[in-house]
Amino acid sequence: MDFVPKVILVAGARPNFMKLAPLHRAMIKRGNNPVIVHTGQHYDHNMSQLFFDELEIPKPDINLEVGSSSHAVQTADIMKLFEQVCVSEKPDLVVVFGDINSTIACALVAKKMHIRVAHVEAGLRTGDLYSPWPEEGNRKLVGSLANVHYAPTNQARENLIKEGIQKENIVVTGNTVIDSLVLASNKLDINEKLLNDIQKKYDYLEPNKKTILVTGHRRENFGDGFKNICNAISAISNNNKDVQFIYPVHLNPNVIEPVNRILKNHKNIFLIEPVDYIDFIYLMRLSYLILTDSGGIQEEAPSMGKPVLLMRDTSERPEAIDAGTVLKVGADENNIVKYCQNLINDNSLYDSMSNRNNPFGDGQAADKIKNHLKNLNL
């Protein structure tokens, strides 16, 4: 009978699960039933059974329920609880995703217990330790701990090599978040009832208007950054009555306060609560362009031909900027207004950004990781 290694997949927030889900499905097909551990780092009221059903994975086997606290306390709490999981489960491999506190905490525990670590979405770098913080620090630290690194792009691979990681321990796979995007988008294409139900939720959006989707949550933009972002959206709204905005507003008070104060009285700006994953994919497909400070959307939107204006000063995904699918405008009111207006008015500029190839993969990343894991000597 073939040996089947015991694998733990660790997630701590919604974006982690979107990266985890394709690998879980691929491993199940291979005959390996990995244990899903949710650290509970980010509580999300939308992370219901529906969320996991949409991703076609079960609810986590183990939830550490650490919740929010300071970076140090949260990281320490995750480490203490995850060590107990490793003692009881005795995994051969721990797979971590992305760059949140759960990623570094669980990687460090596994390493101290002589358990092999694989890092999915390895090698992303901004080159500025404090932008974003603590994500840039987390991913650099995990890079020094992991035994195998699944890099989404060749640029990410080069970043790791520059930091002394052996080439044979790096595999370029694309990003599994694109796998999840392809699955969700296909569901909208083939499930007419699902599509109709979602369309009804947003029937207040006028089909003859250009829809701009907005997301924002980065702590680097708290304060003046969000004030500038909201002032820019307000100005664009006032100057373009044939444009409408839809903005699923992050629940952090540092986001809610300026958004409601500056934007709530605009008739062509729709402020809504955070939405389910499949709804968000629908809104991305519906949108004309996207204003965001997100990391993952820089990868997802180009797959749909949607230009992205990145409201950050740095990006760990320079490939998207180099490819011309993402334009970095920062949290600068004048820049946001200028480049958004250019994309609204200039069809050739819009086409030049929307018709580029996505450098982050083709939706087959999980299979590449699964095949490589199969050949590891665990």
- Residue 43, phi then psi, degrees to nearest 5: -80, 135
Measured distance CA(175)–CA(197) in Å, rounded: 29
24 is catalytic: no
Measured distance CA(232)–CA(84) in Å, rounded: 48
User: Quick one: three-class SS letters along the chain?
Assistant: CCCCCCEEEEECCHHHHHHHHHHHHHHHHHCCCCEEEECCCCCCCCCCHHHHHHHCCCCCCEECCCCCCCHHHHHHHHHHHHHHHHHHHCCCEEEEECCCHHHHHHHHHHHHCCCEEEEECCCCCCCCCCCCCCHHHHHHHHHHHCCEEEECCHHHHHHHHHCCCCHHHEEECCCHHHHHHHHHHHHHHHCHHHHHHHHHHCCCCCCCCEEEEECCCCHHHCCHHHHHHHHHHHHHHHHCCCEEEEEECCCCHHHHHHHHHHHCCCCCEEEECCCCHHHHHHHHHHCCEEEECCCCHHHHHHHCCCCEEECCCCCCCHHHHHHCCEEECCCCHHHHHHHHHHHHHCHHHHHHHHCCCCCCCCCCHHHHHHHHHHCCCC
Catalytic residue among 83, 89, 158, 219: 219
158 is catalytic: no
Residues near 257 by beta carbon (within 8 Å), at least 6 away in sequence: none
135 is catalytic: yes
157 is catalytic: no
Catalytic residue among 38, 54, 116, 135: 135
Please state the length of the chain.
Answer: 378
Measured distance CA(104)–CA(119) in Å, rounded: 10
219 is catalytic: yes
Burial of 207 (0-12, 13-18, 19+ CB in 10 A): exposed
Catalytic residue among 250, 266, 285, 372: 250
Catalytic residue among 30, 89, 158, 217: 217
Q: Which residues are catalytic?
A: 99, 121, 135, 217, 219, 250
